[in-house]
Amino acid sequence: MDVEDEVMTDAQEPVTEANRSAGEQEVEAMIEVDDSEDEELIVEVPATHSKAARVWPEVSTERREQYEREIQAIREVFEDEVNVQDTTLVSEYADEIFEYMAELEEEMMPNPNYMEGQNEISWPMRQKLVDWLLQVHLRYHMLPETLWIAVNIVDRFLSKRVVSLLKLQLVGVTAMFIAAKYEEILAPSVDEFVFMTDNGYSKEEILKGERIVLQTLDFRVSQYCSPYSWMRKISRADDYDIQTRTLSKFLTEVTLLDHRFLRAKPSLVAAVGMYSARTMLGGDWNEAFVYYSGYTEQQLLPGHELLVEKILEPEFDRQYVYKKYAHKKFLKASVFAMEWAHSHTEDDDALGRMAQ
């Protein structure tokens, strides 16, 4: 599989008994781990502001309380029609489940400023890695949650360890390997993951990388909940409209490429994706959407603007997420979104010139 030059490592020779130990030492060097005690952190990412502002601009206490009052007022009067006959909805426990997920989502967020502590990699290199993971994910027909878990593992690992450019792809393939074992019913074998990297890494390197990553993250994988969980809940507001769901899936996957969304909780990413999809399709953000998402339109506008800005970046159509959703299987959602973004930007520019 083709991988961007900035992410690909130099081609390695087939693994033999003679060079296997050297390969393992390279894996340990990925995080500067001593062979005798590879759990110990030797090189930490310098401390950065873990409580940095979210994607959305900081608002005053008065404005925040106003949002909370608006949401609470809707919750008090909105009638949630629960289908008790559908046992898959587990309506008896749904509220408690989402409350627990809300408690966990901030704990599982990476440091949004972790790149400040890295020496050789940058945000554009991370974007190329995520783009490659999208290709691997689709080629092996893995579940949507597998992709989100893998990217979360990458970001949390890079928040705690300094990684060289040569080992960045190893971090990515190891994260996908872990996520697939956790989420998939029939996960690809480690040999298939070796093939994914064009034999750039050996089976032993990936397995040892798996141990290092899991130890670094204290084996915390299952606590992460992707935006899809909240998206399914929000979709009840429009009776699971297929066009809105498909377009929102594309838009939420776009956030994976944009490091600015590392400051956003998964529930907020899901709400932004649904809001942007509704806006592009000419719908409104009515009380039902506020009730199921827990966010008002004013809270989601900044995220919507960031998404449109990302889609309008030069050569965005070369990103794999665009190519993936340009297929008729996904209703050509990416083509529609880009055309909408360009047309509305041109309209806004025209209005601006008229106002001058």
72 part of a folded domain: no
Are both 190 and 250 inside the same structural domain? no
Task: Answer yes or no: is 41 within a domain.
Answer: no
Task: Kindly list the distances between the CA atom of residue 50 and the CA atoms of 45, 106, 262, 308, 336, in Å, as whole numbers in the listed order.
Answer: 12, 11, 11, 27, 37
Terminal Cα-to-Cα distance of the chain (whole angstroms): 51
Residue 262 lies in a domain: yes
Task: Quote the CA–CA distance of 263 and 53 in Å, as a whole number.
Answer: 7
pTM for this prediction: 0.82
- 337 and 349 share one domain: yes
Ramachandran category for residue 315: left, alpha or beta (phi over 0 → left; psi -120 to 50 → alpha): left
Residue 129 lies in a domain: yes
Q: Is residue 265 part of a domain?
A: yes
Shared domain for 103 and 217, answered yes or no, is yes
Domain final position from 202, 225, 248 = 225
Q: Which of 225, 243, 263 is the last residue of a domain?
A: 225
- The verdict on 299 and 344 lying in the same domain is yes
Residue 32 pairs in a beta bridge with none
Which residue, 225, 253, 273, sits at the end of a domain? 225
CATH code of the domain containing 323: 1.10.472.10
Per-residue confidence (pLDDT) for residue 193, from 0 to 100? 94
Residue 238 is assigned to a structural domain of this protein = yes
pLDDT digits (tens, 9 = 90+) for 266-303: 999 999 999 999 999 999 999 999 999 999 999 999 99
Please give the Cα distance from 186 to 142 (Å, whole number).
Answer: 9
Q: Are 164 and 26 in contact (CB under 8 A)?
A: no
Whether residue 110 lies inside any domain: the answer is: yes
167 and 241: one domain? no
Are 137 and 126 in the same domain?
yes
Question: Does some domain include residue 62?
Answer: no
Residues 194 and 282 in one domain: no
Which amino acid is located at 259 in the chain? Answer: H
Residue 148: closest CA among 300, 8, 257? 257
What are the pLDDT digits (tens) for 37-81? 343 333 555 544 444 444 455 667 787 788 889 999 998 888 887
Q: How much is the CA Rg of the chain, to the nearest whole Å?
A: 22
- Whether 211 and 231 share a structural domain: no
Per residue of the chain (356 residues), give pLDDT as tens.
444 444 443 334 444 444 444 444 544 444 444 444 343 333 555 544 444 444 455 667 787 788 889 999 998 888 887 766 666 667 778 888 889 998 899 899 999 999 999 999 999 999 999 999 999 999 999 999 999 999 999 999 999 999 999 999 999 999 999 999 999 999 999 999 999 999 999 999 999 999 999 999 999 998 999 999 899 999 999 999 999 999 999 999 999 999 999 999 999 999 999 999 999 999 999 999 999 999 999 999 999 999 999 999 999 999 999 999 999 999 999 999 999 999 988 766 554 555 55
Domains held by the chain: number: 2
The verdict on 326 and 195 lying in the same domain is no
> Are 216 and 252 in the same domain?
no
Kindly state whether residues 160 and 289 are assigned to the same domain.
no
The whole domain housing 186 covers 1-12+22-34+93-225
Same-domain pairing of 193 and 105: yes
Averaged confidence pLDDT in the chain: 84
191 near 203, Cβ under 8 Å?
Answer: yes
